[in-house]
Structures are given as structure tokens and as C-alpha cells.
Amino acid sequence: MTTINVRFAPSPTGKLHVGNIRLALINWLFAKKQDGYFILRIDDTDCERSSSEYEKMIIQDLMWLGLTWDFKFNQSERIKIYDQAIEKLKITGRLYPCYETPEELKYKRKHQLAKGTPPIYDREALTINNETRKTFESEGRKPHWRFKLKDEEISWNDLCRGFCRYHVSNLSDPILIRADGSLLYTLPSVVDDSELNITHVIRGEDHVTNTATQIQIFLALGTTIPQFAHLPLLTDDSNQVLSKRLNSFSISELRTSGIDAMALTSLLSKLGTSDSIQPHQSLIELISEFNIEKFSRATPKFNFAELKHLNSSLLHEMSFEQAKPRIKNIGICCTEEFWIAIRNNLSQLNTVKDWWYICYKEITPIITNLSFTKMAAELLPQEPWVTTTIWNDWIAILQQTTGYKGRNLFHPLRLALTGCKSGPGMKALLPIIGRSRAVARLNGNFA
Ligand code: GLU
């Protein structure tokens, strides 16, 4: 059986958003499901726009989600290897220098559009003679380099889109090397995919046209062509494709807003499939349910409200074992009793802090009926308490003594004991708050 190798290849030119990370996750699940390898490739040949800060953020996001990689590399460290491929393409006449300036190209395009013809590069550079070339070079013009496409049909069997065919006569010869000598991602990607034996390229459908041209580059270099899967891109509520430029839902923002990594992966691994969206507590569960064939061609929608809802459900079902390390991360050490008492009340994990303060630190009680809460303090049984029955025992005594019931009985107690109008069940909270703190609060004291 062949080993499965996939890669996630972000450009470090911005923060990762949910659309990017969805593709990382799908690649990762695809690899794990088949005991394959997941490679992290940083596409940083564009020195102007790439930054090591963004690279650090990418790494932090992937680690937070648990999407570990088997191997990582940066394209900027492999320029010599790409140079060999460039030489090969030059020798075989598939790479040619072009001297048009950006302004000239823009003018050409405008002219073509005005005539009603598609703005395809006219290959004028192939017609210039040595003398003109020398003149350009003496003027200080540096060429950019284009890959000469073969005028033929390209086809592949896409794991998501099915059989795809593309006629390259509708395409411009792609620029592989910029005038400043830097490489666009197109060629390095092909070189890396073939050197690292990438078996499956799973990426967004914005790359379909690139695939057509890249298949020709694979053929020109005489290397094996991987299988492709192009997934529809995520859109937001207003049907806009999520993008770095729109600053859509960056992973770091979601993380700081208290979304759990598993809520995000539970959602993103299912969007675009017919599987129901449920909270999953571990990536192992997601691996077992994963199948690339489940992804349809329909455009999936990312809805933040859905993510928040999933996040709440996930927290409500989370065991203490699972919650413990996460709570520790936000600087709190708590008991299982506390976690079980408050988890149903959480929609985001960081609000654990508020309940931790209410249970163990000082709060300002809200007193609506001081004579009643003072009496309640007096009637609160001495410790030790039977934690499972103390609340009901106390309520029974209070009801009998005061004749209060329902909201009149419960609400002043909650307000005094927690300083909040709503929250977790008091039956579970009271034993955690403890007698001395409860008595002080019922008497209206900061405690
Ligand atoms: N750096 C490219 C991107 O982020 C990689 C595309 C690919 O997966 O081939 O769009």
C-alpha cells in the first residue's frame, strides 16, 4: 500500500482564518485516517509580504488545534532546488523571459477588454529578437519569466469535483519568476509536491486553474502528478468568501474569545458534508468519522452563532478530565465538584473565572430583603454538611419558618449568595461556597 502524504501550505502573509484552517484540518484528518503523513510547508518565497510573525501565528494556531505535523519546511530555504527546475524548464524552452512592464501589461489588458477579447497574454515576448532584448537590458529592464503552456486539454479526476477538464487555450502563460527574481508559489509548489512524494493535494477551489497549469509543469519536469481535491470555499452569512483581506474570523481571535479548539474542529470537519454537526471531545473521534467523499460541491457557510452554540454544548458535556488542562491554561486550579456544578452554565470556557471568583473569592452580595437573608443565615445548619442534601434541608426549614416559597424564597438567596441574577443550580453551589462565606454574604457583607 502506498503511504499517504499530504501538505498544508499557508503563505505567512496574514493570520489564518477559519477557511484556511478548515483545509488544514481536512488534510490532517485525511492523513491520520490512513496512517499517512501531514507536512507543513510555509510558502514564503514572496519576501516582501511574508513575515516570521505570521509564521509564528500559523504554528500557534495549528498547535492549539492539535494539528501536529510530521515534517515542516520553508520554501525560502529551498531556492537552490527550485533553480535546478528553472534551468530544466529554460533548457527545454518552457520558460521564457518577458520584458513588459506592469504598466504595459495593464494597457494590453485594457485594450483587449475594450475590443471584447479575453485578457490573455499574447506571447509577444516570444517574438522579440536579440537586438530588442539587448536594448531592453541596456535600459535596465529585468525580465519576468513565463511558463509556456502547451495548447492542449488537461484533465484530472478530482476527489471532490469529479472528472475535470480544462482547456489551457483560455489561460495566460503563468508568470513563475518575478522581475526582481523572486518566485511565485506555482513552480516551487510543484517541485516540493513531487520531491516530497505528496500523494494528494487537497486545497480550495480557488486553485482549480492553478491545477491545470501545475499539471503541465509536473509533466514538463517529468514527475509524478498527485491526486487533487478542490473543496468549495467557506462563505460567511452574507455569502462572501472568507479571506485574509476581509480579516474574517481569524483563529487567534476565536481562541481569545473563548472558543474551544474542539468546538472549532467539530464544526469545520463537518461543514460541507451531510454528517450532523455535533460536539466532539477529541480529534480521534473526528478521524474515525472522516471521509473525503462526504464533502459535497455545495458552498458551505460558516456561522459564528452555530460555533458558539456548539462551544456551549461541548462544555456542557465535557468531563473533568478533559476540562482540567484547559482550565489550568486560564490560570485556575479547580475541583471536579466545582466543574460539574458550573459547566452547564458556560458558553465560553473563560467565564469559568467568574464562577471561580463567586465560589472562592470575594463578591458584593445583592440584598433585596435583608431581614429575610439575615434569618436565612441564622437558620443555615452548622457544618459538616451532607453536600447532597444541605440545600434542600435548609430550604425546607426556611419555607417552614417564613412561609415564603417559589421565587420569593429562592431569588433573594441566589442574589445574596452569588451577587448574580442567574447561574448554576444553588444545590451544587452552596456546598462549594461553604458556610462561613454564605453567612457573611447573607448578612450583606463583602465576602
Ligand atoms: N500557499 C498557497 C495558498 O495559501 C498554497 C496552495 C496549495 O495548497 O497549493 O494558497
| Residue-level pLDDT at 298 | 92
Instruction: Provide the residue ranges of all domains of the chain, joining segments of one domain with +.
Output: 1-75+184-317, 81-177, 362-442
pLDDT at 43: 97
Distance of CA 137 to the CA centre of its chain: 46
pLDDT in the model for residue 33: 98
- CB-based pocket (< 6 A), ligand 1: 9-11, 43, 185, 189, 203, 207
Q: Classify domain 362-442 by CATH architecture.
A: Orthogonal Bundle (1.10)
Asked whether residue 51 carries a pLDDT value surpassing 90, the answer given is yes
Nearest CA to ligand 1 atom 10: 10
- pLDDT at residue 168 in the model: 83
| pLDDT score recorded for residue 247 | 57
- Tell me which residue has its CA closest to atom 5 in ligand 1: 9
Identify the three-state secondary structure at position 147: strand
C-alpha span between 379 and 180 (Å, rounded):
83
Q: Can you tell me which atom of ligand 1 is nearest the CA of 203?
A: 8
What is the pLDDT at residue 439?
Answer: 98
Residue 1's pLDDT is 72
Tell me which residue has cell 481569524: 250
385 in Cβ contact with 379 (< 8 Å): no
CA of 11 to the centre of ligand 1 (A): 7
**pLDDT score for 238:** 79
Tell me which residue of 203, 226, 205, 199 sits closest to 215, measured CA to CA: 226
Q: Long-range pairs for 155-158 at CB < 8 Å and ≥24 separation? A: 156/211, 156/215, 156/225, 156/227, 156/228, 157/227, 158/228, 158/229, 158/230
pTM of the model: 0.90
Do 1-75+184-317 and 81-177 show the same overall fold? Answer: no
Mean pLDDT, all residues of the chain: 94
For residue 170, what pLDDT is reported?
85
Distance from the CA of 102 to the center of ligand 1, in angstroms?
Answer: 24
Which superfamily does CATH assign the domain made up of 81-177 to?
Answer: Glutamyl-tRNA Synthetase; Domain 3 (3.90.800.10)
Instruction: Give the lowest-confidence range in 121-130, 246-255, 424-433.
Output: 246-255
pLDDT of residue 244: 61
At 329, is the pLDDT very low, low, confident or very high (cuts 50, 70, 90)? Answer: confident
Q: From the centroid of its chain, how far is CA 70?
A: 19
* pLDDT single digits (tens) 268-314: 999 999 999 999 999 999 999 999 999 999 999 999 999 999 999 99
The whole-number pLDDT of residue 330 equals 86
| Residue-wise pLDDT tens digits, 220-279 | 999 999 999 999 999 988 778 877 655 568 899 899 888 999 999 999 999 999 999 999
Position 187 scores a pLDDT of 98
User: Quick count: other Cβ atoms within 10 Å of Cβ 149?
Assistant: 21
CATH of domain 1-75+184-317: 3.40.50.620
Q: What is the mean pLDDT of residues 104-133?
A: 93
10 CA → ligand 1 middle, Å: 6
Alpha carbon of 206 to ligand 1 centroid (Å): 10
What are the helix and strand counts (H, E) for the chain? 19, 10
Position 47 pLDDT exceeds 70: yes
